[in-house]
Structure 1
């Protein structure tokens, strides 16, 4: 019997025939004949043609394993649903055969069932819910059986894990999150897991006992390897553990008490959102239910939770912003009107009302939507529309993923994959399928937009348009003059040049319509600030940048307060205007005024970054780098906005900019480490942690970062002996050197959102000629025996910024020892003065009475910094607290308190230093060089210079002598 291809479109039929011929060729005469006999039923022959034409994944699997295809064709499992227990029973029976290895059998089992699942889905023998159920059951069987196998093997070595209080044997509880938790897994999905065990204790092994935490960590690691590792047989499921407490930096397993304590004390709303679908898929059912009962109060508040609405609104804005930022419109899951928006609608009601209305405490999305009808949360028609769209979108997702077994939700762009997808979805062509998809997505998008909408503004966009003459072709100077533009002729010329620009002239009809709607609003908004013409001049480059991405114009039209904030900020700072025009994606940050004018502390910054990167694949380095750049740009915008609004004093500005850098450095280290560890394994060394620390010098070390500051960094490691534990193991020294190089690359690489930071590594031992990542002992030896005085000056401002606290502690001990060394103060003063004179010669070629360079000028910031550094090196031997701090302000505070300077002298230097820095920040926001009129700080400069003479005047005179 030959394939039945009459039902296939012309472009797909040859694909099926060619695939079948290759399968038969690979099978050989005898097995090929059996395959031919297996499709004598015309219905089966037709199904086979559909699957081979529409899934190169199945065609390739059949070619590699014709015996697997033959077995499924002959045992009848392709034509029937399977009972739930079948999956575990089949896998366990296969592993019970002597000599069977876990890893290869799991992969063969996955191949068998994925062939069956995709076949039944593509041939519409199974509905959407059966497909997601069977894929989930496959994953659960693999987890449960593999877990039992791994734990049994470890128990032979270490004994059974026993609870300290109960004395009962322990099992690992695997919490399935996300789609697996709801048994809604798609056909090429990763699985989100959290590992937990009931209580602390030790194993009862006769030869060796280990803690329960260590035992279950080994179990968890074994499970991840068994499922996730790619071998010649492929993989079973990609495993994602980032939803666990503290994400990638947290322990792999937690006991029940630790898990409950974390969520009650530190859990965030997005973690509540994630836990809605959590479901135990292994372990003692009684203990698993006990764990869920302990977590439920965190997920579901006791009463209707109006307090979560703002948080959900923020999540909703993040979803919309991500679609714009990443260009996800061709993604059936993440794009507008996609699967994620349906899920968000349901889960919003669960978080808000689930504590009181227990019927919402379900995991399955469609069941939750039905409950919303019963409770009156959503009308029946809305739920019916959402259900229909959801099933259509999930079927579309499976058609995309089943094509090549790839974890993607992006619509195909080539003709053959498009035709295959349309055929699987029951359409004759892509041109028929695409409008149906668009209709469903528009429906979902409409309901998503209506959900927890922001309060209505007092003035609607339509009312704002009611101004005769604004943005008309024949608008004249008088219109702008009446609005208060200070130079209406110049502003009119700007508008005419803008209207005639290539980008505007070439706009399509829809873009032109949106621009015509936006421009009157912009002109009116600019008229509300002190200098309308200046504001317009600064904002037009942004409009030019986004005019072809008119979704941003719509954002501003629909959110008048956001437009007002944009005008206000750009009017106040050309630096912000330039930032926005280079990175229009930051317009999303204007939607939440409370957030925009709130610069978060370091802990909140860490939480926000964790949330932003939690859903990114750890091996997607480009996505991680883009996320870090957006995080930095958005957070720096918050700081600048807060400073302009007068909400942050200068020290707080620098604090926040420094925290941003530190949080980013910690994440960059984590990403670089994970990237290298995948290739080479991790360094084998004593102790825990990275064995690697990042120290900030200069402005980062002194907690004085500005808006455009680079980062002076020094890397130190303590694990150079030995090698990494991967298959491609390398010497630890090489690993740490590559780790440093990878971090620098991540920080400095230019991408669409620019660089993270410029990095300067010249302050490391031996500078550019020295090792990029010296060991602790090498660092210590250099500082003790070879470092110049100026390097010890730099060491004053050295501070731990990221990495291993254990390594940091050892380096800080070296720092304290070196700074507290007894020195010849006369010789020290001469060295400091020589370095200051050299710096001034190189960095301040001209100094006159008319201009004062805030940083390098006489009586400026660097003079104060050098005096502070001299004081630390001269007097820390007798006053060790001077070596405690790395920032000038707190060192000056110690100098005044300990009587090394008078309190008035210390206060004078502190005040001058902060005033200089404050003006420098303001000049940076105005994109002006860091200098002011010579008479502006005449008194402060004189006082600082007087203090310089008091401390270093003798050395200054000696240095001036020929």
Structure 2
């Protein structure tokens, strides 16, 4: 009996060394034979360094007790105390694997296998393992020899002598040696069968990829041929017997347990197909019947046993099919669907613990890597590795995956696989579930080097790595570029000069020689930038070609790439981030406006991604946020010129955002289909450009006031939007129609206030007219009282006096679209209250007023139509054009706005919908007018996008006309159909206008 003092001392030491049940450990150490263990601080420290000190001590006691005699017992103990490498290896295994502890207890001499592995002998391969299995002559002795070899692998693993990749490779090499030994045993049992045939064993899955788990099915495919002079039928039957026997040797459970199941279900037709086929039979199946997943599985095929020459013939014959699989219809979608199906089949109770198949698990890494390999490996042989981490490294080296992403995926994969290994090593059972028991989690965490708080640290690291995997899997596996790249013809995936020229001609490039020069400039060289460009360009060329001017698209892409050539995120963004590359291709080939804007702000490429929220992606930003950004920039500027330059910079970027969103919504991409509601698209453009113009004017006003008067202007000042500006319907090239109104502050003489207001207006116009490469922002104040002859700015009282005494009918009509846009909000609202009685007159309009409006409309049509223009195609003044619809709606507003609140809006489409709801216009007529107005507005927007300058009619140049047609949804050669459709829509609208505006219904 141990003395209490000694017991207390031992208990404390055990507790300090990490034993969770020091009382039980103390009882084990009470035996006199274990006194050296109890008293040796080196051994106790070594036990405490293991994953589970209690388990390690119990295993050591069992191993000592199993020694045949005292001499063997003493030899083991003395060697442990003297030799640190053996101590670390043996105790490390005992603390991590109860299954290997059981093996050592059954075979107490096998600990000697751990003595010989000094550094010079590390990392054995297939030949070394074959020597270790050489004496096995039956299934039982093979299992014993297998576990002995496995013991040495586990020892190196838990001690950190080998890393994850080396351990997985050693396990695969041991499996290879085991398959060869099992086949030899089967052949020895049936020498006549062995003589009749050639049998090749081809490893698949993780064994084929040289990345096997501790416990895993070993996937194989068998290929058989008749030996020279043998009958093929008999040979295949003989080969089948040998293959079946080999599988049983590895899979069956004996007193020594089992090795692992050999799974041949990846063969043609799966379980329903013959176990062994000839090479020609395999080829015939894969050529005619194989599914997408079968080619994905073949990516890791590697001959490992039997007739290796025949195995190599099999792999060589099938390799072209593997690397052409990505050209199959719906290939990418099929692979993605298969991955989703795997996740859906996980039981809900296990999905959060599933280390292999669950979201953020090992399969996410493997599927993403394999999909990228199969798509890009057709043309890049460096990607054709069956090993996940090697393939990932090659993908990063070739520019197909970002280096930072590859490092994160590599780290995560290694951590998750290490977890999987240590979970399986404990009982040598095939499982991928993270345990729930705290003791299991503690052992698992400690085995991975997490010692401070093993359970918490393990959970945190596991979740962190899983989150990284999930994010990068979504980014890489569902990358739109992949599907487009997979659809390229075999010679198109890499751009040789000859293939590139042929493809350019086939795609319709007008100047293939110039296009080739652009390609050479972009993709030549050995830099990472050139490598990524070579990945992008074959796909981009196709997207450019899906436009009216692919040459311009490629030229613009080169300009943007040159401008952003040293920007590290640019090409990475195109390769990795959602629909960015396709969106950019559409934008660069759609005309002049968007590319011109982008050339002056190349960093705006980032807007083409999938970012959501205000300020992210292509979603228009709210006016309040725009104004806040502009005013903040103005506040930081040193003078008014710099301040307006800041405002212009915001305007340039946001115009590009709006134009890009318009193009993507109109042309459509794989991830952004053509927007069905064209009216909503028009409203979004009009609202975005109007909000941007308002924010620009607000910033310019702030800059002028700050530069001339400091914080406070002597007079209150407001800007009133008119026309399309007030109606939230500005196009890309529209002028900003405005009125300026001011009101002297208390105590300020009216003359001083008026001079200040006029200086503000004059300075604003000057600053906004400073020459710039940006689209101009022209302020037009011609709708003010007395037109061009009247003062630019008036007081509120002056407006009131003028409108009371002199206002004409056209002015009331113009005021229908008045809305405050910048400046003093209270003054702007009082201006609206002043004009409401004019634009919504009580009792509506008299007959004389209606006739005057009609007369003015007719006069405008005859006088303002440009000479030589085709009226039927003039979107503004032509029959059924914008003016027809707007004047009709405005007449209804003037007549009925005083009784119909819905008509009191500055927006044409809203007012038309309100008129329909009030029964003033039939549903059919309202739809006809709305369709015509939307179409005419879209044509004007298209002209500006395509030509880079405003226009009210269709372009005459054929390529520009085709580009407008593409924007409106008409394919190549259908420009005539587009013009016919416009005439037809306008003609129908004019018939409604004739009835509502000129006929009895308007009275």
TM-score (structure 1 length as normaliser): 0.44
The structure with the larger Rg is 2
